[in-house]
């Protein structure tokens, strides 16, 4: 594999948990291939396959594109042995020719029966990737890092960090923890809806599940939120800090806030009420691409 530069990600990308060809039928795989090819043409710098993808999901997105950077955001280390991942990713990279990055994460205790000592587990996983033949070297991977220890590990042993569900304040703190050279590519969730109440309802429908996961709530408490902010799917204060709710110009403004706080790249996840927050929101992706224009 080839280490990617920060420039290979561009300033703005798309994060989507719907890019899983392994979880759908032939028609679904065709729809994914058409969608990612269009995202590439629209000019987005990177495509993040969200929701614990497999190496096969990454291979399919790589095969359907030509130039855009493709990343797993993130591959669950408990579900995929390191040696198998290294072997499979070598084939993905051969097709990608320097435009693939392996995003890794420890997931969450309530979702993983064998979850224990996540930091130590990640260290051991990185050791195994280093020792594999072929290896996956530090410049060929990023970590889903929230807390100080995992951020430092990301800086020391990977290209950088891909934090999920974070504020601009976290981005500033993460940049300080990572240092100036590591990649910082946070995810930002977007609801393109100018009705504030309706947009917040869409956001809460997504956020409620994440507020059951201690890794996220502990991080938000570190950032100064209180337990009361987690009630009812999230307070207005919490929603406004974690999401971009409004029109495309507001999304641009919020994205710039993350970039100004120290992010190199922002991965936009678009939620829609019509699709229950999932699916392939191609109309919204087009609307955002038009709004960002040459800034992509």
CA distance 250 to 194: 10
Predicted pLDDT of residue 111: 67
Place of tokens 């070297």: 137
| For the chain, domain boundaries | 1-295
The pLDDT of 239-256, averaged and rounded, is 98
Angstrom CA distances, 11 to 92, 243, 264, 290, stand at 24, 18, 6, 15
108-128 pLDDT, tens digit each? 767 667 878 999 999 999 999
The pLDDT of 15-29, averaged and rounded, is 93
- Cis bond leading into 74, ω under 30°? yes
Mean predicted lDDT score pLDDT of the chain: 95
CA distance 55 to 66: 18
Q: Is the pTM of this model over 0.85?
A: yes
CA distance 224 to 232: 18
33-59 pLDDT, tens digit each? 999 999 999 999 999 999 899 999 999
Percent of the chain scored above 70 by pLDDT?
Answer: 97
For 274, residues 6+ apart whose C-beta sits below 8 A from its C-beta are none
The pLDDT of 184-201, averaged and rounded, is 97
> Does the pLDDT of residue 228 top 60, yes or no?
yes
Predicted pLDDT of residue 109: 61
Place of tokens 């798309």: 14
Angstrom CA distances, 114 to 20, 22, 78, 246, stand at 24, 23, 8, 40
**DSSP H or E run through 37:** helix 26-42
- What CATH number does the domain located at 1-295 have? 3.20.20.30
CA distance 265 to 243: 16
The pLDDT of 165-182, averaged and rounded, is 98
Angstrom CA distances, 198 to 44, 69, 195, 202, stand at 27, 33, 5, 6
The pLDDT of 255-270, averaged and rounded, is 98
């Amino acid at each position: 594999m080839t280490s990617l530069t920060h420039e290979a990600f561009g300033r703005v990308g798309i994060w989507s948990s719907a890019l899983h060809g392994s979880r759908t039928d032939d028609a679904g795989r065709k729809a994914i291939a058409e969608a990612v090819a269009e995202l590439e043409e629209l000019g987005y710098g990177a495509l993040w396959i969200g929701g614990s993808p497999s190496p096969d999901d990454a291979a399919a997105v790589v095969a359907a594109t030509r130039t855009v950077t493709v990343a797993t955001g993130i591959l669950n280390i408990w579900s995929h042995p390191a040696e198998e991942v290294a072997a499979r990713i070598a084939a993905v990279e051969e097709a990608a020719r320097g435009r693939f990055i392996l995003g890794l994460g420890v997931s969450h205790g309530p979702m993983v029966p064998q979850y224990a000592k996540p930091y130590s587990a990640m260290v051991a996983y990185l050791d195994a990737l280093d020792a594999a033949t072929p290896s996956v070297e530090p410049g060929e991977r990023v970590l889903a890092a929230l807390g100080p220890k995992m951020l430092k590990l990301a800086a020391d042993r990977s290209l950088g960090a891909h934090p999920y569900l974070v504020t601009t304040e976290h981005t500033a703190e993460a940049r300080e923890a990572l240092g100036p050279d590591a990649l910082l590519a946070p995810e930002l969730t977007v609801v393109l809806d100018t009705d504030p109440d309706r947009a917040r309802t869409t956001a809460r429908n997504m956020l409620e599940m994440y507020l059951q996961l201690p890794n996220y709530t502990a991080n938000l408490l570190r950032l100064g939120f209180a337990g009361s902010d987690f009630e009812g799917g999230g307070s207005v204060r919490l929603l406004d800090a974690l999401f971009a709710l409004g029109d495309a110009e507001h999304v641009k403004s919020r994205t710039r806030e993350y970039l100004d706080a120290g992010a190199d790249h922002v991965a936009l996840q678009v939620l829609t009420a019509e699709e229950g927050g999932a699916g392939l929101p191609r109309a919204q992706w087009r609307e955002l691409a038009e709004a960002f224009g040459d800034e992509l």
